[in-house]
Amino acid sequence: MKYALVTGGSRGIGKAVCLELAEMGYNVLINYAGNHEAATATKEQVEALGQKAATLQFDVADRNAVRTALESWKENNPEATIEVLVNNAGIRKDNLMMWMKDEEWDQVLDISLGGFYNVTKEIVQDMIKAKKGKIVNIVSLSGLKGLPGQTNYSAAKAAVIGATKALAQEVARRNITVNAVAPGFIKTDMTGDLNEKEFLSHIPMRRFGEVEEVAKVVGFLSSPASSYITGEVISINGGIY
Ligand code: NAP
């Protein structure tokens, strides 16, 4: 009964990760914020791959909601162990710093950085006890290089990169790896408002990435093949440096 928990697994990159992990033989716990229909569709696709799936609605930024949902799921599924955690839930609220609203700053930090803390805290203790685990954090090119109009998003993702490296060193002796992937521009609802053509000249491969191209790397970092890689950030961005 080995499970993978994917936050924001209902759509986009998270959904592709759920399907990749199901193909690798994991049962999948699909977290989502509010889009029940999309989460149910992901669940059905995981089940069609022959694995068990469950949807779990909670806002990763709401510490009490995270604790209540995960503790009650664990109580109801005592035989299940969460071996893989993918911290994927995230939002963009772009604005120039001079015009940024307090809530744009807070929401982006609370979901990406707070969400990482809230969910990982609940799961890592069980991984430590089991002496086994894989944690993959979805960060961003924006957190590595900083992008104008995204001080909130760049700060949140850079903070998660720091946390990835720190936690990796804390838990390495317990056979737990903690890594991050940093996508560039990937075709999802999150980038639906961007005109791909305007950005192509900045991307050496001259195209946006596909969700599966991110999911494959997350799958690798969740598999025994990556057993000696930890505290690493892998860019998936078509050659942007
Ligand atoms: P997306 O298509 O907008 O999907 C976002 C997912 O996150 C949805 O499943 C959504 O659930 C969930 N979510 C949002 N807020 C949440 C919350 N407070 N609690 C729980 N779940 C929440 O986004 P995406 O493009 O796949 O992005 C996924 C991750 O990759 C994010 O961390 C993003 O920052 C990162 N990333 C994306 C790109 C890109 O180009 N797309 C590039 C770099 C990094 P609902 O369906 O219920 O709303």
Question: CA 27 from chain center: how many Å?
Answer: 17
Tokens of 82: 């969460």
Name the residue type at position 227. S
Predicted local confidence at residue 64, as pLDDT: 98
Supply the pLDDT for residue 111: 98
Mutating to test ligand 1, I would choose from 59, 91, 211 the residue with most ligand atoms within 8 A of its C-beta, which is: 91
Compute, in angstroms, the gap from residue 190 CA to the centroid of ligand 1.
7
Quote the CA–CA distance of 136 and 122 in Å, as a whole number.
15
Predicted pLDDT at 241: 86
- In tens digits, the chain (241 residues) has pLDDT values of 899 999 999 999 999 999 999 999 999 999 999 999 999 999 999 999 999 999 999 999 999 999 999 999 999 999 999 999 999 999 999 999 999 999 999 999 999 999 999 999 999 999 999 999 999 999 999 999 999 999 999 999 999 999 999 999 999 999 999 999 999 999 999 999 999 899 999 999 999 999 999 999 999 999 999 999 999 999 999 999 8
Query: Taking the alpha carbons of 180, 226, 26, 12 in that order, is the dihedral positive or negative?
Result: positive
pLDDT at 153: 98
Q: Is the pTM of this model over 0.75?
A: yes
Residues 6+ apart with CB under 8 A from 11: 32, 35, 38, 42, 188, 189
**241 a catalytic residue:** no
State the amino acid at position 52 in one-letter form.
Answer: K
What is the set of domains in the chain, with CATH numbers? 2-236 (3.40.50.720)
Give me the residue label for tokens 């664990």. 74
Ligand 1 pocket test, candidate residues 18, 31, 88, 196, most atoms within 8 A of CB: 88
CA distances from 184 to 79, 110, 121, 133 (A): 38, 22, 27, 26
Sign of CA dihedral 43, 183, 215, 162: negative
